[in-house]
């Protein structure tokens, strides 16, 4: 009898518990339906915002991987907001608090473990929005120079003039200075040379300024500059500066190459001497003698 009583009592308790659960489900059913509707609504909102971002706001970012990751981050953020609102509608405040606390602890642990990776990721996002650097720009850093071929969440890839690639971590690139030759279409370059001491210095200046002005267009506010710089060992040295179109380093070499040929050709035509260092040994003046002792036979 006692065994039958215990079984019956346990069955009654189980039935009461199931009845309570059923009643709770019935009472919470409107909230559950509302929570599902909220999740569906936020899902479509997230999709719409992601499409708007990709179509309008992210066009300034040339790197496709950066566009995708930002769109996914926004999408997941909106979904999480909807999830937390749904939990609030279901009155699961304790679960919501536990999830937020757990997310904070996990986020802290992940952040400490991935400091370098996160730093590169943030650096990649910064570089993507920087108007001072774009894909195909020609830049120079303390370690390398070349064309920007890729900006990812981890590094920036430079294609060097020798067609090899240098990969620079984003965090290191952001923290150091760099020169972007592609930001300005015009740059000033200089060419140095020397003329003999017998030369007419005013004629040399006029010739150089004329030949440069005739072959390199100088726009508004740009002039050909000429300066004598020093009395050298065998020549009077000068420097001329002028403007050219330059968005990559090769154009500087091409400009100097052309200017040197033009100056040399014009100096030849005018009889202007470009001396080179020589050494003269005056045996008579310095009483130098050469002894040619032949062995006795």
The Cα diameter of the chain in Å comes to 149
Q: What is the architecture of the domain spanning 132-180?
A: Roll (2.30)
- Comparing 92 with 174, the larger pLDDT belongs to 174
pLDDT in tens, 247-288: 877 888 999 999 999 999 999 999 999 998 766 555 555 555
Q: What is the architecture of the domain spanning 2-113?
A: Orthogonal Bundle (1.10)
State which H helix or E strand residue 237 sits in: strand 236-245
Comma-separated ranges of CATH 1.10.287 domains in the chain: 2-113
* DSSP secondary structure, 152-171, as one string: -SSEEEEE-TTS-EEEEEHH
pLDDT in tens, 151-195: 776 778 888 888 889 888 877 777 777 888 887 888 899 999 999
Comma-separated ranges of CATH 3.30.70.100 domains in the chain: 186-270
Comma-separated ranges of CATH 2.30.30.60 domains in the chain: 132-180
- Band of residue 106 on the pLDDT scale cut at 50, 70, 90: low
* Best CA proximity match to 198, nearest among 278, 275, 277: 275
As a whole-number percent, the residues of the chain with pLDDT over 70 amount to: 64
pLDDT at 107 over 80: no
> CATH class for domain 186-270?
alpha beta
């Amino acid at each position: 009898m006692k065994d039958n009583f215990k079984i019956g009592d346990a069955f009654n308790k189980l039935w009461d518990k199931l009845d309570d659960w059923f009643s709770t489900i019935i009472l919470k059913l409107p909230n559950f339906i509302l929570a599902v509707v909220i999740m569906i609504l936020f899902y479509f909102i997230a999709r719409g915002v992601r499409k708007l971002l990709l179509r309008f706001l992210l066009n300034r970012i040339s790197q496709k991987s950066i566009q995708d990751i930002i769109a996914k981050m926004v999408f997941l953020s909106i979904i999480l907001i909807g999830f937390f609102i749904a939990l609030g509608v279901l009155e699961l405040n304790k679960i919501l608090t536990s999830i937020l606390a757990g997310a904070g602890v996990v986020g802290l642990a992940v952040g400490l473990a991935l400091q370098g990776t996160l730093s590169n990721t943030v650096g990649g996002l910064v570089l993507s929005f920087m108007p001072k650097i774009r894909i195909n720009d020609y830049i120079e850093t303390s370690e390398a120079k070349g064309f920007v071929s890729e900006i990812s969440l981890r590094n920036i890839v430079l294609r060097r003039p020798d067609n090899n690639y240098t990969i620079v971590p984003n965090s290191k690139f952001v923290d150091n200075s760099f020169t972007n030759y592609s930001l300005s279409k015009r740059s000033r370059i200089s060419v140095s040379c020397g003329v003999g001491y017998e030369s007419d210095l005013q004629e040399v200046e006029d010739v150089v300024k004329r030949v440069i002005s005739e072959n390199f267009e100088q726009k508004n506010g740009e002039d050909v500059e000429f300066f004598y710089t020093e009395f050298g060992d065998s020549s009077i040295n000068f420097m001329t500066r002028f403007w050219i179109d330059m968005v990559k380093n090769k154009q500087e070499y091409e400009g100097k190459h052309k200017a040197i040929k033009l100056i040399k050709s014009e100096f030849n035509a005018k009889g202007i001497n470009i001396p080179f260092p020589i050494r003269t040994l005056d045996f008579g003046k310095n009483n130098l003698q050469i002894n040619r002792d032949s062995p006795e036979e």
